[in-house]
Amino acid sequence: MKTQKLGFALVILSVLSLFLGAKSISFQDLWNGGEMEILVLLLSRIPRLLSVIITGMALSISGLIMQQVTRNRFVSPTTAATMDSAKFGILLVMLFLPGAPMMGKMAVAFLFALAGTFLFMMILRRVKVKNVIVIPLVGIMLGNLIDAVTTFVAYRFDLVQNVNSWLQGSFSLITKGRYEILYITIPLVILAYFFAHQFTIAGMGEDFAKNLGLRYELVVNLGLGIVALISSAVLVTVGNIPFVGLIIPNVVAMVYGDHLRKNLSTTLLLGAVFLLLSDILGRWVIYPYEISISLTVGVLGGIIFLYLLLKGGDTP
pLDDT for the residue 312: 55
d(CA 7, CA 273): 9
Domain assignment present for 165: yes
The domain in which residue 235 lies consists of 2-311
Which CATH number fits the domain that encloses residue 87? 1.10.3470.10
Domain assignment present for 31: yes
**pLDDT per residue as tens, the chain (316 positions):** 477 888 899 999 999 998 887 777 777 767 776 777 788 888 888 999 999 999 999 999 999 998 888 888 888 888 888 888 999 998 998 888 888 888 888 899 999 999 998 998 888 888 766 666 778 888 888 989 999 999 999 988 888 887 777 677 788 778 777 788 889 899 998 998 888 888 888 878 788 888 888 888 888 889 989 999 998 999 888 888 888 988 999 888 888 777 677 788 899 999 999 999 999 999 888 887 888 898 899 899 889 888 877 775 444 4
Report the domain count for the chain. Answer: 1
Domain assignment present for 316: no
Domain assignment present for 149: yes
Alpha-carbon dihedral 199, 201, 204, 206, rounded to 10 degrees = -90
Residue 108: phi and psi, rounded to 5, are -65, -45
Domain assignment present for 69: yes
pLDDT for the residue 158: 87
pLDDT for the residue 310: 79
